[in-house]
Amino acid sequence: MAILNEKTVREAIDYRRSVRAFTDEDLDDEKVKDCIYQATLAPTSSNLQLWEFYHVTDPAVCREISIACFDQGASRSAKHLVVVVARRDLWRSRARANYHYLSQAFEKSDGFSDSRKKMALNYYRRLIPTLYSTFFGLKGWAVYFFAQVVGLFRPMYRQTRRSDLRVVAQKSAGLAAQNFMNAMASIGYDTCPMEGHDSLRVKRALDIPRKAEINMVIGCGIRDPKGVYGKRFRIPFMEVYKKV
């Protein structure tokens, strides 16, 4: 399929719909891969990038995942599937990567004060391990109660429990998923994010580690007009817009 001129950000956002049925037209693997690359440019908490993206093109594996998605139309007719995975369990390696990157950047540049260098490196060497390391979840609770006490006297980060950090990883993965879907829309490709799935079966199909968590499964293809259920509905803007 010939792709027309790439859409602007506003045009892509307006074009994107959750498409429940796709045509038989094929997708270009490399273009979808590039859209996944654009997903990795999304903002992410502490730049930890606690995510992975499984680009599924094998028809047999797509079929297996579709069954795990209850065989809904968006999975059954998709030419590709992209599974967005939150990987809170990879915090150590991702923090280490940030630490090494900053260390090398500081060595190549004299534009940073010693105090700023120390603060940035200690963030990944000390603060991130304090937040993310757990001892059967007990350490997170200890840090949580400490934060609540300190918060009585000054502003304090309070989302320190393991359940809170799971949410942080899921939020970052969701931001990346939206980047991906907008990137797909910009080249005329369509998507449908699916939270309705048997996560255990999806993990088995892709051999995803036990500690990883499925954020969403995204069906990809070219929209069939029947797959767009009418005009977009949104709650009136002034009901959700609060100017302070």
pLDDT digits (tens, 9 = 90+) for 172-211: 999 999 999 999 999 999 999 999 999 999 999 999 999 9
Within 8 A by CB and 6+ apart from 77, the residues are 21, 22, 23, 219, 221, 224, 227
H or E element that contains 147: helix 138-150
46: containing domain: 9-87+165-227
In a domain, 120, yes or no: no
In a domain, 209, yes or no: yes
In a domain, 38, yes or no: yes
In a domain, 29, yes or no: yes
pLDDT, tens digit, 9 for 90 and up, residues 229-239: 999 999 999 99
Total structural domains in the chain? 1
In a domain, 51, yes or no: yes
In a domain, 129, yes or no: no
In a domain, 241, yes or no: no
**Domain holding 69: CATH number?**
3.40.109.10
List of E strands, the chain: 51-56, 80-86, 190-194, 213-221
- CA 195, CA 215: separation in Å to the nearest integer? 8
